[in-house]
Amino acid sequence: MNTFYTHFLKLLLTIALISTATAQAADVKLLNVSYDPTRELYQEYNAAFAKHWKETTGQTVEIQQSHGGSGKQARSVIDGLDADVVTLALAYDVDQLYQKAKLIPEDWQSRLPNNSAPYTSTAVFLVRAGNPKGIKDWDDLVKPGVSVVTPNPKTSGGARWNYLAAYGYALKKYGTDDAAKDFLKKLYKNVAVLDTGARGATVSFVEREIGDVLIAWENEAYLSLKEYGADKYQVVVPSVSILAEPSVAVVDKVASKHGTEKAAEEYLEYLYSKEGQDIAAKNFYRPRDPEILAKYGKQFKALNLFTIDEVFGGWNKAHATHFADGGAFDQIYSQ
């Protein structure tokens, strides 16, 4: 029995040692609450920023990450998750921090350039190698016999962009809202599975091999190519799509409580620097900086992009008409 206790004590001691080893306090600690597909991006960016911060201020900075569905993450910050900065999928989710809890000022979106979206993306198609169903544009998705995978717009920020991209395309091509709704009705009839999040939809398509085409963010589509092999899938860029602007913001109330405003602000501003933009492009987000965009020109095919403000009059309006209970999506999907 004695040996048992000594072993147990040793184990406890080891745990205690590990705790102290990991508790080497950094000068500044930031918590970045982000959404699902940015894991790889911020893993790389955080290391670069830590180096930059050390060089300019001499302080060490440790950045902690939390990932999840964009809407859920916003909800957690409202409920008290101590985020110094949020980097979410869409402005609507960031805006909830003002609407529901006044954690940020109303004009948060004008504090950083480009609507506080340092990088952009767009909705594209991922198809199986050789493109057996011959998918080239949105019209091919509503054809009978084509099986589509896209997440649920009710729960997934990424899925809302997909929905609005298809809607904007149909509106441009057929002219009226009724025709666009009709188009989406046909499209969602072809949807094989509505996952709750973007990563879940990708997993359904690549690992469970469901569907002929995955509507995905460009960055997520290229990441799948990288992870699962470029010989198994290919990316198809449609003629028209939406300009997705993932928004970032310093959560003022939290940062001022932690005394981390300076680092938090610089953390977001550095995303616009050459290095930040380069890391974004490397992780398949479209950079804002024209020079970096040119450098990665081959990767980002030019296409006709429309913004949510142009076609839908902004996120609040788009949300109320399309995704609120009883909105256009409910009508489309229930029939």
* Structure tokens given for 308: 């949510």
State the minimum distance, in angstroms, from the CB of residue 77 to other proteins.
Answer: 9
Candidate residues 2, 3, 15, 178; the one interacting with other proteins per rule CB under 8 A:
15
Secondary element (H or E) of residue 264: helix 261-269
Candidate residues 28, 31, 89, 213; the one interacting with other proteins per rule CB under 8 A:
31
What is the x/- site pattern for other proteins, positions 208-227, by CB under 8 A?
A: -------------------x
* Structure tokens given for 127: 């198809």
Q: What angle do CA 192, 326, 36 make, to 5 degrees?
A: 50
State the minimum distance, in angstroms, from the CB of residue 57 to other proteins.
Answer: 23
Q: Does 195 bind other proteins (CB under 8 A)?
A: no
Q: Which residues pair with 62 in a beta bridge?
A: 29
Candidate residues 4, 6, 20, 79; the one interacting with other proteins per rule CB under 8 A:
79
Q: Which residues pair with 331 in a beta bridge?
A: none
Q: Which is nearer to other proteins, 102 or 143 (CB)?
A: 102
Q: Does 40 bind other proteins (CB under 8 A)?
A: yes
Do the beta carbons of residue 147 and residue 192 sit within 8 Å? yes
Counting residues that bind other proteins (by CB under 8 A) gives 25
Stretch that binds other proteins, among 33-41, 180-188, 294-302, 318-326 (CB under 8 A): 33-41
Q: What angle do CA 40, 41, 42 make, to 5 degrees?
A: 95
Stretch that binds other proteins, among 2-10, 16-24, 278-286, 294-302 (CB under 8 A): 16-24
Do the beta carbons of residue 287 and residue 210 sit within 8 Å? no
Sorted by sequence, the CB contacts under 8 Å of residue 238 that are 6+ apart come out as 123, 124, 125, 136, 137, 138, 169, 303
Q: Does 199 bind other proteins (CB under 8 A)?
A: yes
Candidate residues 44, 57, 60, 82; the one interacting with other proteins per rule CB under 8 A:
82
Q: Which is nearer to other proteins, 230 or 294 (CB)?
A: 230
Q: Does 81 bind other proteins (CB under 8 A)?
A: yes
Number of other residues whose CB lies within 10 A of the CB of residue 107: 8
DSSP letters, 88-144, are: -S-HHHHHHHHHHH--S-TTGGGSSHHHH-SEEEEEEEEEETT-TT---SGGGGGST
State the minimum distance, in angstroms, from the CB of residue 149 to other proteins.
Answer: 16
- Which positions touch other proteins (CB under 8 A)? 15, 18-19, 22, 31, 36, 39-40, 64-68, 76, 78-82, 100-101, 199, 203, 227, 257
